C-alpha cells in the first residue's frame, strides 16, 4: 500500500527565518528538515500549464543523505499538497465574494504594470 503524501511530512513547530520548517517523516529522506525560500509560478506560453519554481532551504540533514532529483520532486509534491490543503481549509471563506473574476486576463488587468502582488 502506497503512503499518502500527507504521511511523508509534517510541519514543525519551529521556524527558520520566520518560515515554518517541514520535516520528512518517512522514506529515504527521513529526518531532513527544510523550508521554502522564494516560490514563483512559471506559466507556459500558451497558458495551458504552469509549474512551481522554488528554492528549498535545507535546515537539517541528520543522516547526510544525498539530496537528488527524487528529493526535489518530493519537496515539490509537498508544496502542492500544502497549497491544496490550504485551499480546501479556506474555501468557505471565499464562497460569498461578489467580485468573482472568471477570465484570468481580466484579473491581470486589475494590477497596474509593476504593482507587486506581495511585498518581499
Strand pairing of 9-16 and 33-43?
A: unpaired
Residue 22 lies in a domain: yes
Whole-number pLDDT of residue 117: 52
- Residue 103's pLDDT band (cuts 50, 70, 90): low
- Residue 17's pLDDT band (cuts 50, 70, 90): confident
Chain-centroid distance of CA 68 in Å reads: 19
Residue 115 lies in a domain: no
Residue 118 lies in a domain: no
Report if pTM > 0.75: no
pLDDT for residue 98 is more than 80: no
- Number of structural domains in the chain: 1
Say how many Å lie between the first and final Cα of the chain, rounded.
Answer: 42
CB 27 within 8 A of CB 84: no
Q: What is the domain range of residue 63?
A: 5-110
> H or E segment at 85?
helix 69-90
Amino acid at each position: 500500500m502506497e503512503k499518502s503524501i500527507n504521511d511523508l511530512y509534517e510541519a514543525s513547530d519551529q521556524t527558520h527565518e520566520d518560515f515554518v520548517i517541514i520535516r520528512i517523516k518517512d522514506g529515504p529522506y527521513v529526518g531532513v528538515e527544510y523550508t521554502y525560500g522564494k516560490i514563483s509560478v512559471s506559466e507556459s506560453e500558451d497558458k495551458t500549464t504552469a509549474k512551481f519554481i522554488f528554492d528549498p532551504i535545507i535546515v537539517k540533514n541528520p543522516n547526510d543523505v544525498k539530496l537528488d532529483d527524487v528529493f526535489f520532486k518530493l519537496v515539490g509534491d509537498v508544496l502542492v499538497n500544502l497549497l491544496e490543503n490550504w485551499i480546501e481549509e479556506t474555501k468557505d471563506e471565499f464562497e460569498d465574494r461578489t467580485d468573482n473574476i472568471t477570465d484570468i486576463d481580466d484579473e491581470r488587468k486589475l494590477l497596474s504594470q509593476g504593482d507587486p502582488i506581495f511585498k518581499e
